Amino acid sequence: MFKWLLSASNKVKHGQGCRVIQFQNVTKTFGSRTAVNKVSFNIDKPQMVGIIGRSGAGKSTLLRMINRLTPATSGQILFNDRDILSLKGAMMRRWQRDCAMVFQQFNLVPRLDVVTNVMLGRLNGHGTLKSLFNVFGQDDVNAALANLDRLGIAQEATKRAEELSGGQQQRVAIARALMQDPHMVLADEPIASLDPMNAKIVMDALREIHERDNKIVICNLHTLDTARTYCDRVIGMRDGYIVFDGAPSALTTDVAREIYGADESFNEAATSTAIDAGSSGTTKSAGVVTPAAAAG
Ligand SMILES: Nc1ncnc2c1ncn2[C@@H]1O[C@H](COP(=O)(O)OP(=O)(O)OP(=O)(O)O)[C@@H](O)[C@H]1O
Ligand SMILES: [Mg+2]
């Protein structure tokens, strides 16, 4: 209910036809391999978008092109009509701060304490660890603690990052992303290394950022049920193409089979994040079973 009220208010706020992100014929090739193939789509209001597809479909490449971690080969990505792919120098770094990335492996500095890891979000990739202690002021500390508190882990602030569980580390990484005060959050498989309980906490946190801050969140996900539960919109990729773009309710088993390229043996239950102690014979990665693994 709240979700629909919120999406209605977003419409009022941003208006119909207000295009926030536009992909126009975006292609990325690595040698002879086309990872993303002439992809076009718009995100024209703050949405939580899930990108699904089997391993190698092009999900990470798509996400990484948005914040310029991977250069596109051709096409255009526009943000509020600004050409993102031609940004250089300080403008490009500014853009990278505006679209914060969250990674599967957290990318924290293990030996640094949690609060310092979070403050690194303010550095925007500049500075060296040596200069850290001169760079951060009390405002930064307060903002970091507030973000940690929002993620429910302020009590861990003085521990070294490596002392935390995976789920806690991912929450630290999200707090670090929030320090950038980004326009959007790009999360590449944020729960693929987590058990179901921590996966839920992390996805709840990303959803809360979307709802409370009215931000675009784009999330690469391996599991269908997570995409259905958390996302307003799901984009399905296969072999570099977008083969589905719609509401989670339209993501039927047949559609999922099309996206994952699996035959009749495709078992949707196998893409669940729920741990089933009785199930065996499928490839598990921290409770997450990929359709590719289940089908193959
Ligand atoms: N740096 C690279 N150099 C060469 N090929 C690459 C590179 N990055 C990705 N690719 C290739 O591009 C294709 C898409 O890769 P990508 O990592 O985007 O897929 P993905 O959908 O994120 O897969 P996964 O679910 O395994 O993370 C794959 O064939 C991959 O091997
Ligand atoms: Mg990937």
Asked if the structure places residue 8 within a domain, the reply is no
Give residue 272's domain range. 19-295
What are the distances in angstroms from CA 134 to CA 129, 130, 168?
10, 9, 27
In a domain, 219, yes or no: yes
Count of Cβ atoms closer than 10 Å to residue 66 Cβ:
24
List residues near ligand 1 (CB under 6 A). 30, 33, 35, 53, 55-61
Q: Provide the number of structural domains found in the chain.
A: 1
Cα gap 166→195, rounded to integer Å: 9
Residue 13 lies in a domain: no
Q: What is the pTM of this model?
A: 0.84
Distance 1 CA to ligand 2 centre (A): 32
- Rounded to an integer, the average pLDDT of 6-35 is 71
Instruction: Answer for the pair 222, 50: CB distance below 8 angstroms, yes or no.
Output: no
Report yes or no on 9 lying in a domain. Answer: no
How many Å apart are CA 224 and CA 234, to the nearest integer?
9
Nearest bound ligand to CA 54?
Answer: 1
Answer yes or no: is 112 within a domain.
Answer: yes
Burial (CB count <10 Å: 0-12, 13-18, 19+), residue 154:
middle
Kindly state the percentage of the chain with pLDDT values over 70: 78
Please give the C-alpha separations between residue 105 and each of 11, 40, 169, 173, 187, in angstroms, as whole numbers: 35, 29, 9, 9, 11
Q: Is there a domain that residue 171 lies in?
A: yes
* pLDDT reported for residue 201: 93
CA distance 31 to 34: 8
**CATH assignment at residue 198:** 3.40.50.300
* Residue 3 alpha carbon to ligand 2 centre in Å: 28
pLDDT digits (tens, 9 = 90+) for 238-289: 999 999 999 999 999 889 999 998 766 666 665 555 433 333 333 333 223 3
**Which of 28, 32, 37, 60 to mutate for ligand 1's pocket (most ligand atoms within 8 Å of CB)?**
60
Tell me, yes or no, whether 10 lies in a domain. Answer: no
In a domain, 250, yes or no: yes
Which residue's alpha carbon is at the smallest distance from atom 5 of ligand 1? Answer: 30
Quote the ligand 1 centre to 158 CA distance (angstroms): 37
